[in-house]
Amino acid sequence: MEPAVSVFSVSVLSRVWLNEETFELICTRPRGFQFQAGQYVSLVHQGEAREYTILSPPDAVELRFLIKQVVGGKLSSQLANIDPGSVLGMSKAKGYLTFRPTKRPVFFVATGVGIAPFVAMAASGVRGFTLIHGARIESGLFYRQELTASALRYIPCLSGINVTGTELPDLYRGYVTEYLKTSLPPGLYDFYLCGSVAMIRDMTHLLDEHHPGVRIFSEAFS
């Protein structure tokens, strides 16, 4: 029996691997399904459910999801091997990490697959933001080219130990929190955070301490 979160049914159209552990799953968009850029859904298959942010903009014909295959992760392992044509359950769209127009400078900060809501926002036409994306290695900087084109400034942060040979414009070698601690001048900003609990916690404390008056919108995943 599927958990009660499943309201819609979607069919898997295809899967595209972006690196050795992360893939994009492309599904049909069910009739009547509405969402805002940055929202997420629960995907359900064979009794397993997990939440994934929609990569697509709200007017898209298909729904795209960025999924990391987690060791021991039941649903992500199923989805990594699922056949096109398979049917998944899907909840209504949830979450409040959606863009709120502002006159303040906007910073999007993501680690790993936490980039997904910002891909959706950029695809839906949001511009003028600074994007800071943290990953261990370069292949984890998903959608770098598209986001570089949409962002006012795109700052990749690579924290892996073997990235000394990597050359990218504006590359920072270290964690996103270290970058912001050393590089952000005082000011009133709007921050959107998406990533691990540790990143959200550390970033929030950092901003509280060094940048009183900022607004913070965040979504954490495990």
Partner 1 sequence: MKVYTGGGDKGETSLFSGERVPKHHIRIEAYGDLDELNSVLGAVSAYLPVSEQAILVDFEGIQSNLFVAGAWLATTPDSSAISYLTSLPETVSKDLEKRIDALSEALPELKEFILPGGQPVAAWSHVARTVCRRCERRLTELIEASNEGNLELAAIQVYLNRLSDYLFVLARYLNQVLGTADKTWKK
Rounded to an integer, what distance in angstroms lies between the CA atom of residue 146 and that of residue 197?
26
- Residue 82 per-residue DSSP state: P
Query: Smaller CB distance to partner 1: residue 42 or 150?
Result: 42
Query: Smaller CB distance to partner 1: residue 53 or 56?
Result: 53
Rounded to an integer, what distance in angstroms lies between the CA atom of residue 89 and that of residue 50?
11
Site for partner 1 in 182-211 (CB under 8 A): 190, 197, 200-201, 204-205, 207-208
Query: Smaller CB distance to partner 1: residue 144 or 192?
Result: 192
Token look-up 């397993």 returns 48
What's the closest the beta carbon of residue 192 comes to partner 1, in angstroms? 9
Query: Smaller CB distance to partner 1: residue 167 or 209?
Result: 209
33 lies in the site for partner 1, by CB under 8 A: no
46 phi and psi, to 5 degrees?
Answer: 50, 45
For partner 1, which residue of 22, 56, 98, 150 counts as binding (CB under 8 A)? 98
Which residues lie closer than 8 Å to 138 by C-beta, 6 or more apart? 156, 158, 163, 166, 168
Rounded to an integer, what distance in angstroms lies between the CA atom of residue 83 and that of residue 179?
41
For partner 1, which residue of 96, 127, 170, 183 counts as binding (CB under 8 A)? 96
| Partner residues linked to 140 by β-bridges | none
Do the Cβ atoms of 69 and 21 come closer than 8 Å? Answer: yes
Site residues (vs partner 1, CB under 8 A): 40, 51, 95-96, 98, 100-102, 190, 197, 200-201, 204-205, 207-208, 212-222
